[in-house]
Every structure is written in structure tokens, then in C-alpha cells.
């Protein structure tokens, strides 16, 4: 934490780089009790594949006719989404400079059978934070509140700032793509990822 400002973040899956910049630079709490919002960073992320930006989504089991709290969203294992995500990460980043340093532990975290989406997200958040070298001592909400004294980023798009370039695996094909999943930064920049997060002006 580099500032005393307080922010409220959504609980996200392999969140974008900007998300981790807020998490590192400010005092943040993570929302667990809101209603689940589909097609957001709560259950999906974007990586850099051979054909450009590639979206990965965690399948959910929920009743479509009723609102469900995020903390109660169950992961659907009817198809092998973990294998799909891992193969996508392998094909996207196996030639990146730092992938080999993280791949065994990363695969182990991804392949655990989590019951709830928040368990997967929190485990991934902790793993990535440790590898970057930022705090994984997270604060979580105890209940839902529509109004908050914190700066509310629960519905923030996390694509609002300019990003300095770093070298990406397929940049020669599609150019620099900013603010992908934090994994894009970690696999390409390794130990420099923390410094990169600190350099972002939020």
C-alpha cells in the first residue's frame, strides 16, 4: 500500500493489470456480498493469444431466474474448463521470459476443484500477489452496502488509464495490447511487475 486512499474492488478472476495497481497502491477492500454480475472480471479475464486478445471465462452454476450473491456462485465442472484455460495460457505464454518460473505452481492453483467462484478468485489473487511481491493480506467486506465511504470501483471497467509499453509475446503480430490479465505482465516482466504497478498513474 502506497497511499491512504481507500477503494472497494470487485472479487475478480485473474484480474486486469489496473486492478492490481489499485490493490498495491491503495488501501483496498474486496467485495464478496454483492449480487453476481455476469460477463465481468468477476468470472473472466483477457490474455494475449496468437490471434490477439483472448477471453477466458469460468462457467457458473446458478438459477437464471433469481439473483445470486457472488459468494454463493458455484463453479460448473460439466466440461473441462480448467484444461482449456491452462492450454490457452500455455500456448500464449510458454515462450515468454518468466512463464517457466511460475507454471508448476500456477497449474496447481488452477486445477484445484473449488466449489465457489470466490474461493478460486481469492486463491488466484493470493498466489499472483505473492509472485509479484505485493501484500496478500486482503480485507473483505462483511456485508453488502450500496453506499460506501470508500472510492467504489465495484463497477469500474479497469481500462481507464494509459499504460507504458512492455514487450509481449505476440506484439509483432498485433501490436501492444494494454491492461490484459495480470498474468500477461507477470509472465512477460517477472520481478519487474511490482515496479510497473507502482509506475501507473491512477
Do the Cβ atoms of 47 and 180 come closer than 8 Å? yes
Q: What does the block give as the cell for 26?
A: 491503495
User: What pLDDT score does 5 carry?
Assistant: 81
144, 123, 168, 154: which is closest to 22 by C-alpha?
A: 154
Torsion of CA 186, 192, 193, 195, to 10 degrees: 180
3-class secondary structure, 201: coil
User: What pLDDT score does 160 carry?
Assistant: 83
Task: Tell me whether strands 60-61 and 74-75 are parallel, antiparallel or unpaired.
Answer: antiparallel
53, 35, 34, 31: which is closest to 44 by C-alpha?
A: 53
Per-residue pLDDT of the chain (202 residues; tens, 9 = 90+): 566 789 999 999 999 999 999 999 999 999 999 999 989 999 999 999 999 999 999 999 866 546 889 999 999 999 999 999 999 999 999 999 999 999 999 999 999 999 999 999 999 999 999 999 999 999 999 998 888 889 999 999 998 888 999 999 999 999 999 999 999 999 999 999 999 999 999 9
pTM attached to this predicted model:
0.94
What is the total residue count of the chain? 202
Amino acid at each position: 500500500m502506497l497511499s491512504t486512499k481507500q477503494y472497494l474492488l470487485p472479487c475478480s478472476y485473474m484480474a486486469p493489470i489496473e486492478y492490481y495497481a489499485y490493490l498495491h497502491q491503495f488501501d483496498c477492500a474486496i467485495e464478496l456480498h454483492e449480487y453476481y454480475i455476469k460477463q465481468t472480471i468477476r468470472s473472466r479475464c483477457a490474455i494475449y493469444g496468437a490471434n490477439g486478445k483472448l477471453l477466458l471465462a469460468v462457467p457458473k452454476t446458478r438459477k437464471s431466474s433469481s439473483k445470486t450473491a457472488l459468494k454463493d456462485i458455484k463453479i460448473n465442472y460439466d466440461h473441462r474448463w480448467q484444461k482449456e484455460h491452462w492450454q490457452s495460457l500455455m500456448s500464449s505464454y510458454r515462450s515468454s521470459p518468466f512463464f517457466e518460473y511460475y507454471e508448476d505452481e500456477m497449474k496447481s492453483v488452477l486445477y484445484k476443484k473449488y466449489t465457489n467462484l470466490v474461493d478460486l478468485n481469492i486463491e488466484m489473487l493470493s498466489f499472483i500477489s505473492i509472485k509479484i511481491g505485493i501484500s496478500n493480506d486482503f480485507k473483505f467486506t462483511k456485508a453488502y452496502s450500496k453506499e460506501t465511504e470508500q472510492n467504489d470501483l465495484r463497477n469500474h471497467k479497469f481500462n481507464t488509464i494509459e499504460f507504458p509499453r512492455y514487450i509481449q509475446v505476440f506484439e509483432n503480430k498485433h501490436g501492444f495490447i494494454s491492461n490484459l490479465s495480470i498474468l500477461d505482465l507477470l509472465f512477460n516482466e517477472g520481478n519487474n511487475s511490482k515496479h510497473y504497478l507502482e509506475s501507473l498513474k491512477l
